[in-house]
Every structure is written in structure tokens, then in C-alpha cells.
Amino acid sequence: MKCSEEVVLLMHEYLDEEIAPENEKKLHEHLNACPDCNIYFEEMKKTEAFLKQPVSMKAPLDFTTNVMAKLPQVQPKKSKGIKNWIKYHPFFTAASLFIVLMAGSLVSNWQNDQFSVTNQANLIVKQHKVIVPKGEVVKGDIVVKNGDLTIEGEVQGDVTVINGDHYLASAGHVTGEIEEIDKVFEWLWYKIKDSSTKVASFLK
């Protein structure tokens, strides 16, 4: 086909149903006069008609089953890490949480700068200083926190000074143990011993 491109454009306009009436007349006149263009135009019409036909293709009935069977099997992921451990060890998880909370509580208690002393008779308390006067006998344990203790008399029990110093005069006497606690770990150990003693005395 050696006709001008204008004729081919008119063919496309006709097939797209966008051709003007005068151009359609011009196209038909040319197709009647040119057998090559007429053959080409008929082929284009057949192609257009074929493309517009609805395609009714059906997949085989077992298509989905066959495809799924050929896919590689995916192993379920095993959950790793702390979530899995927590799930299978609830007792240890609870114990660990308890220890962390207790340690936090004890450390915050350790950092508390409030002065305190056990309520014992015969003690003189001045600001952050506790004195066991000369000639006096204190029966029971003395615990002084964030202060100093001076022992001039007698203490029939244990003496514990937390975040402070103790001074034992030459005439002073302590029948139990004297313990100074100035580190966090010593404080934790003291609290553990104290709690154990209280629990043991409660269970008796």
C-alpha cells in the first residue's frame, strides 16, 4: 500500500468512530478506487472486531489447588527472645520483677536524706547527733540513719549507723555488734538481714 498517511489516519478515525461525515465520504471514495487500501482496511476492521470480542477463558477446576501445592512450604517463625522466655517462665519473671522493684525501693530509701533513730529511752537527740549518756543503759538495738552516734554509756544490743559515724567513748560499752553502713550494697544486705529476722520472729 503506497497511499498517503492521510488515508491511514482516516481509517483510524473511522474505526474509533471519530470521523467527520465529509472525511468518511472521502475515505469511501478512496477505498472504492484503491484495492490495496480496501484490503488493508478490511484487515483492520477484522482485527478491531476480534479485539472487541469478550474473552471467555476459564481456568481448570484444580488450578488453585495445583498452584498452592507447588508453592514452597513456609515454616512458622519461632518467637525468640524475651517474649518467649517470659511466656514459658512466669515464676522467674515474677521473681525478677519483684527483685527489681524491691531493689529500686531500697535504693530510693537509701538515697533518702531524712534523719531517723530508733525510739529508745535514755537517748539524747540533738539535730543529727544521738548520744547514749554516761551512766545510762539502753536495752535493745539502736539504728541511726543519716546521723552520728556517740556512746558514752552502755548499749545492751546491736548498734547500726547508716550514712553516719559512731564514736565509742572509753567508758562506753556495747554488748552486741557495731555496724557502720555507708554503701548501697551494705544497705541492701542490712535490709535483707533485717527482713529475714522479722519474718523468722513472726513465724515463731
pLDDT (tens digit per residue) in 121-178: 888 888 889 888 888 888 888 888 888 889 888 888 888 888 888 888 877 788 888 8
Please, is 97 exposed, middle or buried when counting C-beta atoms within 10 Å of its C-beta (0-12, 13-18, 19+)?
exposed
Q: What is the DSSP letter of 52?
A: H
pLDDT tens, 43-86? 988 888 888 777 677 778 888 888 888 888 877 666 567 777 77
What pLDDT is attached to residue 191? 72
What pLDDT is attached to residue 110? 59
Handedness of CA 102, 107, 111, 113 (dihedral sign): positive
Region 89-106: what's the mean pLDDT? 82
- Find out whether 152 and 70 touch, Cβ atoms under 8 Å: no
What pLDDT is attached to residue 1? 54
**3-class secondary-structure state, position 187:** helix
- Predicted TM-score (pTM) of the model is 0.42
What pLDDT is attached to residue 22? 92
